Amino acid sequence: MTADRQTFVTHLECSMTGERYEADELHGLSRVGRPLLVRYDLDAVKAALPKATLEARQTDLWRWRELLPVRHTGNIVSLGEIETPLVPIPKSSGSANVLVKDEGRLPTGSFKARGLVMAVAMAKELGVTKIAMPTNGNAGAALAAYATRCGIETIVLAPQETPEVNIREIAAQGARVYRVNGQIDDCGAIVGRGAAEGRWFDFSTLKEPYRIEGKKTMGLELAAQFGWKLPDAIFYPTGGGTGLIGMWKAFDELEKLGWIGSERPRMYAIQASGCAPIVRAFEAGEEHAERWEDAATVAAGIRVPKAVGDFLILRAVRESGGKALGVGDPAILKAVDDCAKKDGLLLCPEGGATLAAYREALRTGEVDEEERVVLFNCATGLKYPMPEANAAVDRFAEIDLGAL
């Protein structure tokens, strides 16, 4: 392997049928309309990358380059993708063993940076010049930033109720962004029509193969941060579910490298009760999730009525012994408030959903406080509306300092 060729990709594979696809060609979904997964020569990785070499590298996303798909160094696009910290929240969780993986520290303030940096780098490598994507906010912001950085034209469609800060952020970072009077899958349908007409490449969740590869770095990082022994449980806010699917794939690859054993965390897919298609399918024992009508929740990032990778999410949850859990908006908002006021960590609503779900799981005995649990906070809470704080002091009046 020359210095310029950093990866060991062998082929792509249909996640449903196992059919093989050529690696260095542009692909969307497989022939049966399901996500493609990237496969590597893991024996060659094992021979070329001793664990000690990996551990000696700077702890950023690109330290894992042998397990990532970008072949040529010159195609890497980056805004500084750090390894995100694990932050204890003992007071709001009720356990010293609960850690928040705070993805809000990444470029553009969310874990969408992981998937989009990889997808955009591969789009650049494969000659894509125009991309369109539906978004609930943070993914569009990440796409806009990385695509602008490497000169790819970008069109983003967002549901009408997408937070204003996200719309402005997307526009500020160079994309053309439009609000659509519908949900994210309605936006995706418009993107799909344009892609079918050859107007752009469709970057919808899991409709290109490489976002999973970026998101799987969450699992790779967790393994390294926990000293190559995984936590007991992971609570993951689940809309399209790319990160949950990616982490499950990462654990499999790490085991084949001999870096971890066969033990796996219980994977909990967390949804808002106002949009919970995965929870409904899990509880019904189904392999696929029907579209959720009239989706509504304060946690916009997990307001995804239908996920193309539904069967992969459900498979990972079931194989791990985990569950799909739904939580209501009041519990989400209370968790956000409690974590900020008691532990000083400002969660986004989707991160609040994982804390709310953990609290309920602790109450029902699904988890116990001795277990090592990771909650994912997928974005900085600074991007979301906060309660008003209007108290004021008149410096010209007599001030009761004790009352302050």
The pLDDT value given to residue 164: 92
Same CATH fold, 112-202 and 86-109+210-383?
yes
Q: End-to-end distance of the chain based on CA atoms, in angstroms?
A: 65
Both structure tokens of 185:
């899958």
For residue 13, what pLDDT is reported?
Answer: 97
Q: What is the dihedral of CA 268, 271, 277, 281, to 10 degrees?
A: 20
Tell whether the model's pLDDT for residue 4 goes beyond 60. Answer: no
Query: Which pLDDT band holds residue 1 (cuts at 50, 70, 90)?
Result: very low
Per-position b or e across 63-78, b if 16+ CB within 10 A of its CB: bbbbbbbbbeeebbbe
Is residue 200 scored above 50 in pLDDT? yes
Nearest Cα neighbor of 175 from 195, 200, 207, 212 is 200
CATH number, span 86-109+210-383:
3.40.50.1100
- Closest by alpha carbon to 208, among 25, 396, 377, 375? 25
Structure confidence by residue, pLDDT tens digits, 310-368: 999 999 999 999 999 999 999 999 999 999 999 999 999 999 999 999 999 999 999 99
**Which CATH topology does 112-202 take?**
Rossmann fold (3.40.50)
Q: Report the percentage of the chain scoring pLDDT > 90.
A: 95
Which carries the bigger pLDDT value, residue 161 or residue 98?
A: 98
Mean pLDDT of 299-320: 94
pLDDT at 7: 75
Judged on CB neighbours under 10 Å (0-12, 13-18, 19+), 202 is buried
pLDDT at 2: 41
CA 160, CA 156: separation in Å to the nearest integer? 13
pLDDT for position 6:
58
DSSP for 181-213 reads SS-HHHHHHHHHHHHHTTSSEE--TTSSSSHHH
pLDDT attached to residue 154:
98
**Residue 5: per-residue pLDDT:** 56
Q: What is the pLDDT of residue 348?
A: 97
Mean pLDDT of all residues in the chain?
A: 95
The domain locations on the chain are: 9-61, 86-109+210-383, 112-202
Which of 87-91, 97-101, 230-234, 238-242 has the least mean pLDDT?
238-242
Per residue in 115-155, pLDDT (tens digit) is: 999 999 999 999 999 999 999 999 999 999 999 999 999 99
